[in-house]
Structure 1
Amino acid sequence: MLLIRNEKLRNAVKIAVPFIIIPSITIAGALFFDGKRHILIALAVAVLSLVLFAAGFEKKSTGTRRMVIVAVMTALCFAGRFIPFLKPVAALTIITGLYLGGEAGFLVGSLSAVLSNFYFGQGPWTAFQMLAWGLIGLFAGMLSKPLLGNRILLLLYGALAGLGYSFFMDIWTVLWYNEGFSIKLYAAALVSAIPYTMSYAVSNVLFLYLLAPPFGEKLQRIKVKYGV
């Protein structure tokens, strides 16, 4: 398990990787890489997600234990993508971020996208999905204290995360269609995607309402028992 010991370096990685490096690679891949090399971008995002995860802990044993739980949550997200219409991927990513930290949430969201797309289809959109779900988990971890203290606020975050995911993926839609960004095309994409946007928001709220209490209780027990 990779361990980043220097505190300043860890803090730099936590900022640079999710907010600068991965977004830059994702957008550059959409603009300059052809469809045959999209898997290289997804692989780079996956590796950087692991680096970000490693920056989230100080002790090797803690990181190893957390990685096991992350693997389980990723597997659940993978299975969840096979549920028709409403999918629990973002909700499980949020729950991971709340209880295991934003870096773990980012890794679950990122890996869930790239692994499940080996079945649903890889493409330049994969890196956008990895980044979108990853950021949803990361922000959940950053906002864990208020979100865990207020269930209504948590459900509201789930709804906003669904909207944000759709808005972000529409950036990919415009870049793919136009080979550059256009405000008019982006507005049109937002309007045409309203049914999908609403389904994302509704599914997040529904699954957070159903899954957050039982999953949260079990993850909290694991944290206490194994010192995660």
Structure 2
Amino acid sequence: MKGIPFVKSAIVLCMIPFLIWVNVHFMHNQNYYLTSTIILVALLVPFGLEYNKKPNTSKLVLIASLAAIATIGRIAFYMIPQFKPVLAIVILSSVMLGPYEGFMVGALTGFVSNFYFGQGPWTIWQMFAFGITGFAAGYLFRRFKLSRMTLCVYGILSACFIYGIIMNFETIIMVPGTITRSRVFATYGAGIPFDIIHGISTYLFLFIIYNPFVEKLTRIKMKYNI
């Protein structure tokens, strides 16, 4: 269906931010499980609209497998704050499978891995932050054919200026009290060291796993016609 790309973009860029806004302003951050579930179900809608295409099942299995790998990677490095391979895996998934599929890997990873790290109002923000970082990478790669090193640099920048900005903003609005300029600066300032660590780790993981990841996914895509 020709309208599928529009539906995917609308879900990622409009519907999910709207659901987060509703959870913050009308549900008072209490119904995060419900919101997370609605987000995951909404992400499956385009696959239902493409029911006549054979590769759908294989692609969904692959997305779930990549999210599982990212989840295991996040748990494996739990002892080092922000030093995680999640964004690297999400970015490469998006580059190889497409922006929307990369978003799904990121969102699913955020939801599942937080059963270990702890669920809360932050979960839906992490789902979106992981996902939109991958979504942007997939779009940029498809449009400009980024090189390995360029993608690694994107990893640093996206960890700091996409994921970091979103999650720091989440911290600002989750803390009770009036939002002031000093509070905003203090929150973003305190997050800088963690964002830098996250960016460096994303760069390193992208540099290390790029070739084997791309080669393996290329073979899988060819084998299952994804």
What's the TM-score once normalised by structure 1's chain length? 0.89
Picking from 54, 66, 72, the partner of 1:79 is 72
**Distance between the aligned counterparts of 1:73 and 1:153, measured in 2?**
22
What number of residue pairs does the alignment pair up? 221
CA contact (8 A) 1:171 1:181 kept: no
The equivalent of 1:29 in structure 2 is: 23
Pair 1:156-2:153 in alignment: yes
Q: Where do 5+ consecutive residues of structure 2 fail to align?
A: none
CA distance in structure 1 between the partners assigned to 2:173 and 2:33 by the alignment: 18
Matches within 5 A, 1:124-143: 124-143=121-140
After superposition, give the CA deviation of every residue in 1:27-64 in whole Å (9 maximum; x if it has no partner).
22123324542211111111122235666x67532111
Q: Give the drift of 1:180.
A: 6.8
Conserved 8 A contact 1:101-1:142: yes
Match of residue 91, structure 2, among 49, 69, 94? 94
> Which amino acid is the alignment partner of residue 184 of structure 2?
Y
State the one-letter code of the partner of 1:81: R
What amino acid sits opposite 1:74 in the alignment?
A
Q: CA deviation at 1:66?
A: 1.0
2:63 is equivalent to residue 65 of structure 1? no
**Distance in 2 between the 1:29 and 1:155 partners?**
34
Partner of 2:212: 214
What residue is the counterpart of 1:144 in the other structure?
A: 141
What TM-score results when the alignment is normalised by the length of structure 2?
0.89
RMSD: 2.0
54 and 205 in structure 1: CA distance in 2 versus 1, 3 angstrom threshold: farther
Please give the alpha-carbon distance, in whole angstroms, between the structure 2 residues aligned to 1:28 and 1:106. Answer: 21
Is the CA contact (8 Å cut-off) linking 1:147 and 1:154 kept in structure 2? no
Q: Is the 8 A contact 1:128 1:172 kept in 2?
A: yes
Residue number in structure 1 paired with 2:187:
189
Among 19, 41, 44, the alignment partner of 2:13 is 19
How far apart, CA to CA, are the structure 2 residues paired with 1:151 and 1:77? Answer: 20
Q: Sequence identity of aligned pairs in percent?
A: 33
Q: Measured at CA, do residues 149 and 25 of structure 1 come closer, stay the same or move farther in structure 2, by a change above 3 Å?
A: closer
* Secondary structure, aligned partner of 1:143: helix
| C-alpha spacing 1:52/1:105, structure 2 compared with 1 (3 Å) | farther
